[in-house]
Amino acid sequence: MTAQPRLSIGLPVYNGEEYLAESLDALLGQTYEDFELVISDNASTDGTQDICRTYAAKDSRIRYIRLSRNIGAAPNHNHVFTECRGELFKWASHDDLYARDLLRRCVQALDERPDVILAHADQAVIDEDGRVKVPYEYTLATASPHAPERFRSMLFEPGGDDFYGVMRADVLRRVKPHDSYHHADRTFVAEIVLHGPFHQVPELLYFRRDHPTRAERANPSKRSRCVNLDPRRSGPLHPTPRLLAEYVWGFVSAIRRAPLSPAERRACHRHLAAWLTSRIRPGAGERVEDRAPVDPGRHTAAVDALVAGREGRRA
């Protein structure tokens, strides 16, 4: 690792012992190597700390930070970003898998396209054992040169998991930090996309794991998910209507803060009004994880061949 790595990967984690080692193997086995991996442990109570310290002792690219108390998932995501030094940044999840070429292809896209502010790749949802459940076709118009069209797509199209792409850190510093109201991740990405286009690498390189202990599954209600994002949401001052109102206001605020022309701002407000006053079309609010699964036997070998650390699992 160079003294000043070009790319920083921020991995916030809480009680991630079940899948953490697999994700670390996948990240450390990337063909692009000029990165630091900063792990922010949110006061885990399981074996997460031991796993992190073991890996940090073996690879100098890892910097392990352990928080003294659980500050919530959203503040921990924000905190790990402040600890990173690279000109490029990527959040990583402790339970997902990453093909060896993911970082290389995303960094290459950013180098080739100075106008692009975030690069990501085709993805699929995998189960607990790393078998593909749902291949995910990305349909959002985030590559459009027109900010209002990118914003409209973010409102109405299913998906929007660009949160885990490789992005330019200077752009990320110009947007409001990740909040903890209902669907705060969507307003967060919507504000990022107002700053510039994204690029989708047309290769299946990212595997998002769905399992019973995943935050969205373990916290099925809106309030419980928001409390998981930030424990301060648990009090009576944060009822569900407030969490929903903040969600809508998050879009309004994103439009106000973004570097838009008056005409672009008006167009974004029209798209937001249409979203608020009409029913979301079928599929627009769909969670990809809830789609009907495919036959996992057709895809398992591909995952094991693409992801470092899974060579011995090949069918």
pTM to 2 decimal places: 0.92
Cα(234)–Cα(288) distance, rounded to whole angstroms? 28
Convert the pLDDT of each residue in 35-81 to its tens digit.
Answer: 999 999 999 999 999 999 999 999 999 999 999 999 999 999 999 99
The band of 211, judged by pLDDT with boundaries at 50, 70 and 90, is confident
Cα(249)–Cα(1) distance, rounded to whole angstroms? 42
Nearest in space to 259 (alpha carbons), one of 99, 159, 151? 151
Cα(128)–Cα(163) distance, rounded to whole angstroms? 22
Contact criterion met (CB below 8 Å) for 66 and 49: yes
Residue 68: DSSP 8-state:
S
Nearest in space to 211 (alpha carbons), one of 129, 134, 291, 287? 129
Would you state the pLDDT for residue 181? 94
Buried b (16+ CB within 10 A) or exposed e, 193-209: bbbbbbbbbeebbbbbb
Tokens for 164, please give them.
């885990």
Cα(285)–Cα(182) distance, rounded to whole angstroms? 13
Break the chain down into helix, strand, coil percent, rounded to 5: 45, 20, 40
Average pLDDT over residues 197-223: 90
